[in-house]
Chain A
Amino acid sequence: MAAGVATWMPFARAAAVGWLPLAQKTMPKPPVDKKSRSDEILFVNVSGLRFQTWKNTLDRYPDTLLGSSEKEFFYNEETQEYFFDRDPEMFRHILNFFRTGKLHYPRHECIQAFEEELAFYGIIPEIIGDCCMEEYRDRKKENQERLAEDTEAENAGDAPLPPDATLRERLWRAFENPHTSTMALVFYYVTGFFIAVSVIANVVETVPCRPIKGSIKDLPCGEKFSVAFSCLDTACVLIFSFEYLMRLYAAPSRCDFARSVMSVIDVVAILPFYIGLVMPENEEVSGAFVTLRVFRVFRIFKFSRHSQGLRILGCTLQACASELGFLLFSLTMAVIIFATVMFYAEKGTKGTTFSSIPASFWYTIVTMTTLGLLITAIHYQLLIQLLMSLYFHLQYLFMWGHVGLSDLLSCCVPQDGDGDSTPLCVKNRSAFEHQHHHLLHCLEKTTNHEFTDEVTYSEVCVTDSVGFRTSRSTSLSSQQGATTTCCSRRAKRRAFRLANSTVSVSRGSVQELDTLHVTKTPAGTQYPQSRSSLNARTENLKLNCDDYTAAIISIPTPPANTPDESLPNSPAIPGILRNSRSSTFNTQETVKISSL
């Protein structure tokens, strides 16, 4: 129930007087309130800081530690106060929640500590007020990401390998954490060096060199020293291929490795060479082949294994993917608009460069980027976000120093918004709930109808035509104790005695009907008028507080006269087992049925 509703309970109950002249049945007895009615001030000592509050304030939330009888465990007889050995600063916020009904998240506090306090006091974080919810969510996400990195770092940690590690494991270790062995370090630097060499060679071979003797035209160096360059290229590709194959061999999960971004980059970097090998010396095709060589530039991305900063950048970009996408989209829109405008503006003029709209694109793009105004405005937030996350990540990395984080691109954890603290279970029903149940019970008596739930209701609609005898008594339900805690579940306690049908059921206390049990009673047990609470029926039905099972009503039938026949499944209520054997059955069976 929402905040503060407990305060209005006396009013709601008083308003029930209005139903009394209409009531068709006698009203149930009100719950006996053993505790004294007068309000008192409670003293709560939290690590030396003494708080005082009305008892009623704490009673507003009977599902929490302070609102339930659980706080009695912390009561100190000598000092007549409740003592908690917890953080007194945090307790302020907790107590304010009781007072105002709104939970605020203090910005200066660590989110983990805050959640722990909430868990201790039995308050779920989801009720944090709107004012603080966003801050809370952001901090939580940050924290989770940090934790994920943490666990990854631990997993990829420096712990020495067990002595019986296979060659594969050693190899993988060497690749992932190069500093663990000298060989790995050497290999790491060698590959790095060759990546650099390869990239530089790609660049240099296009630079015009002095022409060879006898020719006038400037040649690009690539053609002048074609042999040298091709040897260099071959050597690099060989080394890269060797590295890739070794990694593939050493990877614990080859499929995952093959699908990872880094390996894709590796493949793309060396593929052009091999394609060139198999390509015939065909004029047309070699043109396309030349284009493929462009992909050699992707070798530069191989540096991301060597640079954690690059990986962080990649991770951040991935995190900001949606913003980037939007940015690109809006840029495209702007470009098209302005290009169109320019084209039509210059249409009449002769000799204009804006011969068509696409021709205007280049002008528009250049102008926009040169001006930079639009870019900066949109980029601003993106930049800030990038820089902040870079800063945090690098700071974190700096603190952890040499720990080699394995592929950081996987650090972008999926969004997970649910709180991980669960409210403490209150075993005893509070006075408030008793009163609430009594109120609902009075309403039932007034109208001579009972609350039930959707499933029962739909089943009853089916049986309506057949006119089964049903018997029930609810007089016990409001006075029995500990099985249900909430009014909505109270309605689920029903047992139908269907005269000629074979399965009698009762509903347990469940939150959701995940699995349904059909319980058949042993022969000879006379079911009493059985809508009584679970306590009375525990031995027959094996239902208890912790047992999240619900037995179903199996409602047969088409309007058949002989329910003894076996009945087909009614399509209206899928998934419910129909069983209409005769009325004698010897064993108690439970049949599990998958959820609806």
Chain B
Amino acid sequence: MGLVMGTFSMQSNKQDRTYRKDKIDDDFEMSIVCHRPEGLDKLEAQSNFSKRELQVLYRGFKNECPSGVVNEDTFKQIYAQFFPHGDASSYAHYLFDAFDSAHSGSIKFEDFVMALSILLRGSVREKLMWTFNLYDINRDGYINKEEMTDIVRAIYDMMGKYTYPALKTDTPKQHVDAFFQKMDKNRDGVVTLDEFILSCQEDENIMRSLQLFENVI
């Protein structure tokens, strides 16, 4: 019996390579979570960043979020500062879901790095897959018109009220229709991953612009 217990605990220790410490302080009402990321080497192996780049990223991340995780509100606040004209909260919400691959409700540094790795250093296919994942809100493998309308509306919200030309109420709808016109090859009302990737690869503009942000870090 003791042997079994011993092996069990050793097993769980082995799995738990990430030094994850969750200190729940009972004095305070809320729990204080402090998360430390995996080792630098491991992250370097998993992502497309060099050690130096990871160091820079982590220093910035840690400075802003000393606890090691970003929750959705903080995420929205940060993103909103880049778009002072409009309301970036809806798009930030979708972004948060896309970053938070484990659906844990908070973004750890690893999530952050992995997403950035794909967006900035990934292959075309990986980037498109990530974007598909972003658009597919309910993660069912298909983008339908409602999901796309939500996304497009969120993007237009970031523009704010004062635009030229003025935003009309059906502008997002027209945009979504144009999108589906282009992407939905078999006209079944949903866009699958393959349709999406194929259509994007056919569009030169999209292909070219995907290389835009490679030198961001």
Which residue of A4, A23, A487, A488 is within 8 Å of B64 (Cβ)?
A4
Q: Is the CB of B60 within 8 A of A30?
A: no
| Residue B14 lies at the interface, judged by CB distance under 8 Å to chain A | no
Which residue of A15, A23, A494 is within 8 Å of B205 (Cβ)?
A23
| Residue A2 lies at the interface, judged by CB distance under 8 Å to chain B | yes
Q: How far is the CB of B10 from chain A (nearest CB, A)?
A: 39
| Residue A533 lies at the interface, judged by CB distance under 8 Å to chain B | no
- A56 and B178 CA atoms in complex are apart in Å by 42
Q: Is the CB of A439 within 8 A of B82?
A: yes
| Residue B19 lies at the interface, judged by CB distance under 8 Å to chain A | no
Return the CB mask of B98-118 against A: 1 if under 8 Å, else 0.
100000000000001001100
Q: Is the CB of B81 within 8 A of A17?
A: no
Q: Is the CB of A451 within 8 A of B159?
A: yes
Q: How big is the A interface, by class?
A: 35 or more
| Residue A108 lies at the interface, judged by CB distance under 8 Å to chain B | no
| Residue B175 lies at the interface, judged by CB distance under 8 Å to chain A | yes
| Residue B193 lies at the interface, judged by CB distance under 8 Å to chain A | no
- A376 and B60 CA atoms in complex are apart in Å by 54
Q: Is the CB of A10 within 8 A of B216?
A: yes
Which residue of B85, B130, B158 is within 8 Å of A17 (Cβ)?
B130
Return the CB mask of A1-45 against B: 1 if under 8 Å, else 0.
110110111111111111111111111011001000111000000
- A494 and B213 CA atoms in complex are apart in Å by 28
Q: Is the CB of A54 within 8 A of B59?
A: yes
Binds A, one of B25-33, B35-43, B162-170: B162-170
Q: Is the CB of B95 within 8 A of A451?
A: no
Q: Is the CB of B134 within 8 A of A18?
A: yes
Which residue of A13, A30, A56, A461 is within 8 Å of B56 (Cβ)?
A56
Closest B residue to A33 by beta carbon equals B215
Q: Is the CB of B119 within 8 A of A37?
A: no
Given A19-B155, A22-B155, A456-B162, CB of A39 within 8 Å of CB of B209: no
- A9 and B82 CA atoms in complex are apart in Å by 8
Cβ contacts under 8 Å, B156 to chain A: 447, 449
- A446 and B179 CA atoms in complex are apart in Å by 12
Cβ contacts under 8 Å, A454 to chain B: 162
- A12 and B119 CA atoms in complex are apart in Å by 11
Closest B residue to A436 by beta carbon equals B82
Which residue of B61, B84, B115, B162 is within 8 Å of A452 (Cβ)?
B162
- A27 and B183 CA atoms in complex are apart in Å by 19
Closest A residue to B132 by beta carbon equals A21
| Residue A130 lies at the interface, judged by CB distance under 8 Å to chain B | no
Q: Is the CB of A20 within 8 A of B210?
A: yes
Q: Is the CB of A461 within 8 A of B166?
A: yes
Closest B residue to A8 by beta carbon equals B78
| Residue A464 lies at the interface, judged by CB distance under 8 Å to chain B | yes
Q: Is the CB of A10 within 8 A of B120?
A: yes
Q: Is the CB of B81 within 8 A of A2?
A: yes
Which residue of B85, B135, B163, B213 is within 8 Å of A16 (Cβ)?
B213
Q: Is the CB of B79 within 8 A of A12?
A: yes
Closest A residue to B217 by beta carbon equals A10
Closest A residue to B133 by beta carbon equals A18
Which residue of B78, B98, B164, B200 is within 8 Å of A5 (Cβ)?
B78
Cβ contacts under 8 Å, B152 to chain A: 22
Closest B residue to A29 by beta carbon equals B212
Cβ contacts under 8 Å, B161 to chain A: 457
Q: Is the CB of B163 within 8 A of A14?
A: no
Q: Is the CB of A26 within 8 A of B162?
A: no
Closest A residue to B182 by beta carbon equals A21
- A240 and B196 CA atoms in complex are apart in Å by 98
Q: How far is the CB of A494 from chain B (nearest CB, A)?
A: 7
Q: How far is the CB of A3 from chain B (nearest CB, A)?
A: 9
Q: Is the CB of A20 within 8 A of B206?
A: yes
Q: Is the CB of B60 within 8 A of A26?
A: no
| Residue A450 lies at the interface, judged by CB distance under 8 Å to chain B | yes
Closest B residue to A1 by beta carbon equals B81
Q: How far is the CB of A528 from chain B (nearest CB, A)?
A: 19
Q: Is the CB of B159 within 8 A of A23?
A: no
Given A4-B63, A443-B158, CB of A17 within 8 Å of CB of B127: yes
Given A23-B205, A26-B208, CB of A450 within 8 Å of CB of B216: no
> Which of B52, B83, B85, B162 is most buried by chain A, counting CB atoms within 10 A of its CB?
B162
Q: Is the CB of B163 within 8 A of A449?
A: yes
- A98 and B119 CA atoms in complex are apart in Å by 29
Q: Is the CB of B116 within 8 A of A11?
A: yes
- A20 and B212 CA atoms in complex are apart in Å by 10
Cβ contacts under 8 Å, A29 to chain B: 212
Return the CB mask of B49-90 against A: 1 if under 8 Å, else 0.
000100111011101100000000000001101111100000
Q: Is the CB of B82 within 8 A of A14?
A: no
Given A33-B215, A37-B217, A447-B155, CB of A20 within 8 Å of CB of B52: no
Q: Is the CB of A460 within 8 A of B215?
A: no
Cβ contacts under 8 Å, B209 to chain A: 20, 23, 26-27
Cβ contacts under 8 Å, A11 to chain B: 78, 112, 116
| Residue A453 lies at the interface, judged by CB distance under 8 Å to chain B | yes
Cβ contacts under 8 Å, B141 to chain A: none
- A442 and B116 CA atoms in complex are apart in Å by 18
Cβ contacts under 8 Å, A18 to chain B: 95, 98, 131, 134-135
Which residue of A2, A39, A54, A460 is within 8 Å of B166 (Cβ)?
A460
| Residue B160 lies at the interface, judged by CB distance under 8 Å to chain A | yes
- A33 and B210 CA atoms in complex are apart in Å by 18
Cβ contacts under 8 Å, B85 to chain A: 451, 487-488, 491
Cβ contacts under 8 Å, B78 to chain A: 5, 8, 11
Which residue of A16, A24, A33, A439 is within 8 Å of B175 (Cβ)?
A24
Closest B residue to A18 by beta carbon equals B134
> Which of A22, A27, A456 is most buried by chain B, counting CB atoms within 10 A of its CB?
A22
Q: Is the CB of A14 within 8 A of B81?
A: no
Q: How far is the CB of A64 from chain B (nearest CB, A)?
A: 17
Cβ contacts under 8 Å, B130 to chain A: 17
Q: Is the CB of A443 within 8 A of B155?
A: yes
Q: Is the CB of A457 within 8 A of B163?
A: yes
Closest B residue to A448 by beta carbon equals B175
* 15 residue pairs bridging A and B, Cβ less than 8 Å apart: A5-B78, A14-B115, A18-B131, A20-B206, A25-B205, A27-B212, A33-B215, A99-B63, A436-B82, A440-B83, A446-B155, A447-B163, A449-B167, A451-B163, A456-B164
Interface residues of A, Cβ cutoff 8 Å to B: 1-2, 4-5, 7-27, 29-30, 33, 37-39, 54, 56, 99-100, 436, 439-440, 442-444, 446-447, 449-454, 456-457, 460-461, 464, 487-488, 491, 494
New A-B pairs, 19, CB < 8 Å, besides A38-B52, A449-B164: A7-B60, A8-B82, A9-B216, A10-B216, A10-B217, A17-B131, A18-B131, A22-B175, A23-B205, A56-B56, A56-B60, A100-B63, A443-B155, A447-B156, A447-B175, A449-B156, A451-B162, A457-B163, A461-B166
Interface residues of B, Cβ cutoff 8 Å to A: 52, 55-57, 59-61, 63-64, 78-79, 81-85, 95, 98, 112, 115-116, 119-120, 127-128, 130-131, 134-135, 151-152, 155-156, 158-167, 171, 175, 178-179, 183, 196, 200, 205-206, 208-210, 212-213, 215-217
